Structure 1
Amino acid sequence: MERKTIDLDQGWDYMHKGITKLKKILEGLPEPQFSSEEYMMLYTTIYNMCTQKPPHDYSQQLYDKYKEAFEEYINSTVLPSLTEKHDEFMLRELVKRWGNHKVMVRWLSRFFHYLDRYFIARRSLPALNVVGLTCFRELVYNVVNANARVAVIALIEKEREGEQIDRALLKNVLDIFVEIGMGQMDCYEQDFEVHMLEDSAAYYSRKAATWILEDSCPDYMLKAEECLKRERERVSHYLHSSSEQKLVEKVQNELLVVYETQLLEKEHSGCRALLRDDMVEDLSRMYRLYHKIPRGLEPVANIFKQHITAEGTALVQQADEATNQAANGSGLQEQVLVRKIIELHDKYMAYVNDCFTNHTLFHKALKEAFEVFCNKTVAGSSSAELLATFCDNILKKGGSEKLSDEAIEDMLEKVVKLLAYISDKDLYAEFYRKKLARRLLFDRSANEDHEKSILTKLKQQCGGQFTSKMEGMVTDLTLARDNQTNFEEYLCSNPDANPGMDLTVTVLTTGFWPSYKSFDLNLPAEMVKCVEVFKGFYETKTKHRKLTWIYSLGTCNINGKFEPKTIELIVSTYQAAALLLFNTADKLSYQEIMTQLNLTHEDLVRLLHSLSCAKYKILTKEPNTKTISQNDSFEFNSKFTDRMRRIKIPLPPVDERRKVIEDVDKDRRYAIDAAIVRIMKSRKVLGHQQLVLECVEQLGRMFKPDIKAIKKRIEDLITRDYLERDKENPNMFRYLA
């Protein structure tokens, strides 16, 4: 049976009735919903009109009429309802109309579905859905978006001022800006976001201008943090998520970037004041606010650095003044200073870790600040020496630091951290080695484990070369103990080899220990025998090693038979040799003692001063003055007594500082020579400037080489034919293999 042809007017008339019913439903008029029969009839009508043979295929005409249906509805109903309303009421109407429009598009697309499947697909035309949404965009959105935007921004500002607003309404309105772009964000960004961001910037600019004058730095930051939190909430409640970063940046710029200098440098509450008053929470907030801003932390780190530098420098100045005022210059002030610097480091390291979440910028600021005042001298002592003395105090028996093992470990860890800031690490190493030698040789070290522990820490910090000699010293002492045991066994098994007294000899390896003067002291006969016996023993152990006796480091216990009572005297080998002379002579002149002992004038003055002018007057001298002169004569003081049965007679201290500095200077010359030769060997030809720079870089880990010293060493190497100047360019050097 042939299908009856439907002409265009008749078919559209039927469709128009269906569309009118849909409009009534949308307008909320009393109208029953579509039954499935009605829906099927509308769909079928379109299907039939599109599948009739030409010229009765009305696909194109129906496609056009589909669009006209929307245009007619929008112009007659939607636009009038929107233009008569304003502000929030207009927004509500817009949301309602957009919702209805989407329903209408959905229903009509179903009625006209056959067009979508075949006609549109074949002709590559915009889909029905797109046509429907485009109608709304062109006829409604383009007309009302400016008013809608103004209304939305006004509501946002109300909310910023603390009023309650309908957030759901804003969300729905802004969804229209997003959805109308049909997959693109252009409408939302150009018609709404740009203006909203400008308005937000203007709003916060006004607020910031007031707050910066009225509020303290902590209060201002609290407000800024709260504002940023609220703006982020705003995004989560109704703005599109893509706006968050842009909005936050605008607010940060107005509140934090524009007024950064003013805020950080507020007189009684800025960054310096927060550091001074330990306002940890506020400093953490400052970090949180500024670390998200490009280069925002740099001014904070700069103030942090200046503050620490000022505090550290003040500590050094106080110690300097106190040391100069203290008549005895006991070194106590310097020890207190090191302790205070360690406390300062602990305090600000905690800030770096806790307030500034370990940010590299603050580590760098802390390092640079400490490098400034950790390299200042205090009462003529370099920080390298102070640090070495501080370690000595912790590690020696009866040092001023009474600490538990854990506390000592902790303190040593901190000292080694401070060493990182000191430019003359080689100077520290030399002072430390001198003091370590005294602790080891005179049995003054409190705990061998601590000695090894600090060496491990120093090795980690400064490398194996830094500690190799010190480790050798500790090993030497262990070997020396074994050696002494062997010596005692040797004495037991060789009754002929009897030194006639208790003898302990410590054998050391020359390269590890500081250099000590070895004099040909004329030993008394008793001591000569000891030396011979030990030589005999040592030759049984090795033929290849030469023993050099360093009497200046030796100690002797001798019995002084005084008239009131016998007292045991603990003296140095020099002092013992001098006292033993009085076993065979009652009175000796300065010259006689000098000749018999074969000592230098300088050493003899120290020696005789300790025995005749100091606390214990074992010798009496003529004339009875406080100083030693070459015309003095000495006698054994048989009347001497003391309440103790055993006394130690110290020698006046020698100024070791000068010697250490001289030794270090000498080592530095070798180090500079080695660095220059190393660089030139690999480069063959190099300019003066570049050579100096590379030299400074290579040596910088141990000390800060002086540029003049480098130039001097270059000249010296030229005279020794390691390098030569270029004939053409005197600023170029060549390596001579």
Structure 2
Amino acid sequence: MSAIVQGKRPEVIDLTRGGGGMVKRPAFLQPHMGARKLVIKNLRPSTPTQAAGVNEYYTRTRAELDAALTAIFAGRQTAQPMERLYRGVEDLCRKGDASDLARTLNDRCEAHLAGDAVLGRILADGGGGGGGGGDNVAVLRSVLGQWKAWTGQLMTVRWMYSYLDRTFLLSNKNLPGINDMGISQFRRAVFSSRGKGGGGGGGEPTAAVVGTPGERVLTAMCELVDYDRRGDDRFDAGLLKDAVTMLRLFGVYGKKFEPKFLAESHDYFVRFAEDRSVSDGLKDYIIACERLLRREGNRCDTYNFDSTTKRQLRDDAHKILIERYSAKLLDGGSVATLLGDNDLASVKALYDLLRLSGIQKRLKEPWEAYIRQAGAAIVSDTTRGDEMIIRLLELRRILDIMIRDAFNKDEDFTYGLREAFGYFVNDRKITAAWNTGTSKVGEMIAKYIDMLLRGGLKTLPKTLLSDNRDRADAEKSGVASTGDEDAELDRQLDQGLELFRFVQGKDVFEAFYKKDLARRLLMGRSASQDAERNMLSKLKSECGSSFTHNLEQMFKDHEMVKEEMSSYKEWMAGTGRPTSGIDLSVSILSAAAWPSYADVRVLLPEEVLEQITHFDSYYKSKHTGRRLTWKHNLAHCVVRARFDRGPKELLVSSFQAVVLVLFNEVENKDGGVLSFDQILQATGMADAELQRTLQSLACAKVRVLTKHPKGRDVNKTDTFTVNRAFADPKYRVKINQIQLKETKEENKETHERVAADRQFETQAAIVRIMKSRKTMTHNQLVAEVINQTKSRGPWIRRILRRILRS
């Protein structure tokens, strides 16, 4: 049909041109003329024949669309091209039949899904109709197969009804789009309470009845999870993952599957915990729980479970496996076994488990109990007293690594470690086994540091040395690398100082440390003077200058030797006195700063005695009112000796030198033989001291004397000669004096002296306070004395009570 529209326009005459002619010009804008007149030509009305042809076209189009749907649902190719079908849908929509077309499509899809082709086949594959029999996993597999087929069919339908979907359904509030309609209908067909043939309306699905395909799908998914938990070969990972994706698309995951899955998981966790708690020890239970939680989390991630499902599952597992069985996890005996075995992996797993429920702080109690028990066993072990500090440091090292690697450097456990160490180090009941009355730990720390400063790192077991993690931490913190020997020695001194901080009676440490320091300074036994100075600096920083005052004086006295001897030589040169070929070096020690030493009787050679007399005269002329007390048992010297294989210089103690010099007098008479009694009479030494000296010269590794008869022990009937065949690759040979171990009497005397010093110190504090205050109450006196002496340790209270009571 065509139409021609012709408009008649008014004309005007234009007289503006020359020549008297007239020109006609159309007037395009004549508002005062009103609307233009339109004339439509060739418009013919439709005839009955034409109307019948149009209706036939629409009827044929509907039939073609219906046939196409039948073919699509049957999985066949459509008879008509997709373009023609699309145009047919468009023409029907333009005609105004979009609503009917949408309802027809909805009915066809719903009938297909609820019929034998889909729902019937699902029930048949399950092997049990609607009664719930058969294999649930087979039902799930069938549902997934039908769903995948339906999604392909639905995509083809959407292509064919694309115009309807875009122009009518998109803006219609009552009818869903084709994709949403297809999902909703499949969901109702599977999860509807009416089972086969059910489904109607477009609302949310009602609750599933047990035995419907939807309920069996949920059951099958839980069965697959159970297969995975038990390691059953029937587990199908791809099937479970696709099923979760399908349920999430249907919108029934959170409403139907999640509650069922969590309920069955809860029952599984309860059974698991009951079985494991009875059959497994703590270590095995920890490993089993850790493995279970890791697998549950990985399953949720792998098969696309919702994060809310994972969180609820994890919280429920934590509550059942950890909180409900916290008594087992925190059992002191079981935890102590793990710590005693140094089972770092299990302790870390235990801490991580407890942290999941936020109760990891409760592990601090069995942690401290174990440390107290282990530490008390070490401190009270009187058979291994020499190893006490090494064992304590090894225990501390293990515990520090636990805190670092297992407890994630949790400060609460560090604090608990310090509290536990402070308890057993100062507990009088624990240290009572030593029967010293004062701190045995303080004494052994002083001896440990003496060993470290004398022998260096070679005296330590490898377990105490730094590992790679310690070196990395040291580099990060900017301090010297512990791979350096000096830095490692400094770190080991710090470790000893850490133990020293726990000791409340620090005066015991001071007494023994002073004795050992004096021996190292006087006999030149320090491995490193820098380390000595470093340790003194650490003690000063830790305890204050009053604590290290005497120790610093000892260093000053030791350093004054060169200056004093230079002045002495100038004095000797001024007086013109002979030196007798003896190079004398004297260390002058302040009696108040240095330890007291017993006087040991010995008869010195005349040349040495003469030089001592000269120095005594020099010192008295320089200092009036001072007196020198010679401690020959601390002296050492260098003796030149001639042997058949060449001369040697022997580094010996003063007692060894006195004995060796005697052989000069019998070199050419009596065969060069001296008996024990002759040596005893000539030296004036005590029997025990002489035996020890002769044993070092004749029975040790370096033998410059020969004993007759041979043997390892020295008897009073033995005789001695010079070993002229002595040979050594070194020109200067050091002969160590056999050191007597500190006797019980000497050790007890040191402890008693410390106790006496405490008494005197307390009495002096009382006198000072009473002189300054004149009058005060008893309670005020007690409080003031404690305040002035509290830095010395808690022992002040006991002594104060004893003094005031007497």
Instruction: Please confirm whether the aligned pair reaches a TM-score higher than 0.5, indicating the same fold.
Output: yes
Q: Which residue of 1 aligns with 2:445?
A: 387
1:54-73 matched pairs, under 5 angstroms: 56-73=95-112
Letter of the 1:150 counterpart: T
State the TM-score, normalizing by the size of structure 2.
Answer: 0.56
Deviation at 1:494, TM superposition (A): 3.9
Structure 2 Cα separation of the partners of residues 117 and 311 of structure 1: 80
Structure 2 Cα separation of the partners of residues 296 and 384 of structure 1: 37
Q: 1:552 to 1:46 in 2, by over 3 A?
A: farther
Letter of the 1:88 counterpart: V
Structure 1 Cα separation of the partners of residues 621 and 793 of structure 2: 48
Deviation at 1:388, TM superposition (A): 1.3
Deviation at 1:483, TM superposition (A): 2.0
Q: Which residue of 1 aligns with 2:305?
A: 240
Cα pair 2:139 2:217 within 8 Å, conserved? yes
Deviation at 1:203, TM superposition (A): 1.9
Is 1:305 the counterpart of 2:352? The answer is no
Structure 1 Cα separation of the partners of residues 112 and 63 of structure 2: 12
Instruction: Report the identity percentage.
Output: 18
Cα pair 1:280 1:355 within 8 Å, conserved? no
Cα pair 2:375 2:424 within 8 Å, conserved? yes
Segments of structure 1 that go 5 or more residues without pairing to the other structure are 182-186, 323-332, 518-523, 539-546, 559-567, 572-610, 618-640, 672-691, 713-737
Deviation at 1:189, TM superposition (A): 2.7
Q: Which moved more, 1:528-537 or 1:134-143?
A: 528-537
Structure 2 Cα separation of the partners of residues 25 and 203 of structure 1: 45
Q: Deviations for 1:379-414, whole angstroms, at most 9, x for unmatched residues? A: 22312233113323554599x979999799499447
Cα pair 1:91 1:148 within 8 Å, conserved? yes
Q: Which residue of 2 aligns with 1:133?
A: 183
Q: Which residue of 2 aligns with 1:171?
A: 241
Structure 1 Cα separation of the partners of residues 570 and 301 of structure 2: 90
Q: Which residue of 1 aligns with 2:640?
A: none
Letter of the 1:445 counterpart: R
Structure 1 Cα separation of the partners of residues 92 and 546 of structure 2: 98
Q: Which residue of 1 aligns with 2:775?
A: none
1:47-126 matched pairs, under 5 angstroms: 47-50=90-93, 52=94, 56-76=95-115, 78-82=118-122, 84=129, 86=132, 87-119=136-168
The SS at the match of 1:442 is helix
Q: Which residue of 1 aligns with 2:320?
A: 254
Aligned pair partner of 2:85 in 42, 47, 64:
42
Q: Deviations for 1:78-135, whole angstroms, at most 9, x for unmatched residues? A: 4444453652232123212322332233233333333454556666886543343334
Aligned pair partner of 1:375 in 426, 431, 434:
426
1:313-324 matched pairs, under 5 angstroms: 313-319=376-382
Structure 2 Cα separation of the partners of residues 316 and 569 of structure 1: 36
Aligned pair partner of 2:258 in 188, 193, 199:
193
Deviation at 1:240, TM superposition (A): 1.6
1:14-29 matched pairs, under 5 angstroms: 14=61, 17-18=64-65, 20-28=67-75
Structure 1 Cα separation of the partners of residues 349 and 260 of structure 2: 30
Q: Which residue of 2 aligns with 1:205?
A: 270
Is 1:416 the counterpart of 2:480? The answer is no
1:351-500 matched pairs, under 5 angstroms: 362-376=413-427, 377=431, 378-380=434-436, 381-382=438-439, 383-395=441-453, 409=489, 412-413=492-493, 415-416=495-496, 418-419=498-499, 422-424=502-504, 426-427=506-507, 430-431=510-511, 434-435=514-515, 437-439=517-519, 442-443=522-523, 445-449=525-529, 451-452=531-532, 455=535, 458=538, 462=542, 472=552, 476=556, 479-484=559-564, 486-488=566-568, 490-491=570-571, 494-495=574-575
Q: Deviations for 1:174-219, whole angstroms, at most 9, x for unmatched residues? A: 21111223xxxxx323311222122112123123323333344444
Q: Which residue of 1 aligns with 2:250?
A: 180
Structure 2 Cα separation of the partners of residues 370 and 457 of structure 1: 24
Aligned pair partner of 2:335 in 257, 271, 278:
271
Structure 1 Cα separation of the partners of residues 89 and 548 of structure 2: 98
Question: Over alpha carbons, which structure has the higher Rg?
Answer: 2
Letter of the 2:327 counterpart: T
Q: Deviations for 1:274-321, whole angstroms, at most 9, x for unmatched residues? A: 445x273773575376255224544555334323322321233332xx
Cα pair 1:458 1:467 within 8 Å, conserved? no
Letter of the 2:273 counterpart: A
Deviation at 1:666, TM superposition (A): 9.5
Structure 2 Cα separation of the partners of residues 318 and 298 of structure 1: 31
The SS at the match of 1:114 is helix
Cα pair 1:395 1:451 within 8 Å, conserved? yes
Cα pair 2:323 2:357 within 8 Å, conserved? no
Q: 1:168 to 1:202 in 2, by over 3 A?
A: same
Structure 2 Cα separation of the partners of residues 431 and 372 of structure 1: 23
Q: 1:423 to 1:162 in 2, by over 3 A?
A: same
Cα pair 1:367 1:421 within 8 Å, conserved? no
Q: 1:173 to 1:15 in 2, by over 3 A?
A: farther
Q: Which moved more, 1:61-70 or 1:169-178?
A: 61-70
Aligned pair partner of 1:337 in 388, 411, 415:
388
Cα pair 1:425 1:703 within 8 Å, conserved? yes
Q: Which moved more, 1:348-357 or 1:39-48?
A: 348-357
Structure 1 Cα separation of the partners of residues 505 and 70 of structure 2: 90
Deviation at 1:369, TM superposition (A): 3.1
Q: Which moved more, 1:490-499 or 1:76-85?
A: 490-499
Letter of the 1:32 counterpart: Q
The SS at the match of 2:523 is coil
Q: 1:248 to 1:658 in 2, by over 3 A?
A: same
Structure 1 Cα separation of the partners of residues 373 and 400 of structure 2: 16
Cα pair 1:499 1:530 within 8 Å, conserved? no
Is 1:231 the counterpart of 2:296? The answer is yes
- Count of aligned residue pairs for this structure pair: 575
Letter of the 1:170 counterpart: L
The SS at the match of 2:380 is helix
Letter of the 1:195 counterpart: K
Q: Which moved more, 1:499-508 or 1:147-156?
A: 499-508
The SS at the match of 1:445 is coil
Q: 1:207 to 1:287 in 2, by over 3 A?
A: closer
Structure 2 Cα separation of the partners of residues 17 and 59 of structure 1: 16
Letter of the 1:379 counterpart: N
Cα pair 1:116 1:128 within 8 Å, conserved? yes
Q: Which residue of 1 aligns with 2:200?
A: none
Structure 1 Cα separation of the partners of residues 275 and 216 of structure 2: 30
Deviation at 1:423, TM superposition (A): 4.1
Structure 2 Cα separation of the partners of residues 221 and 365 of structure 1: 23
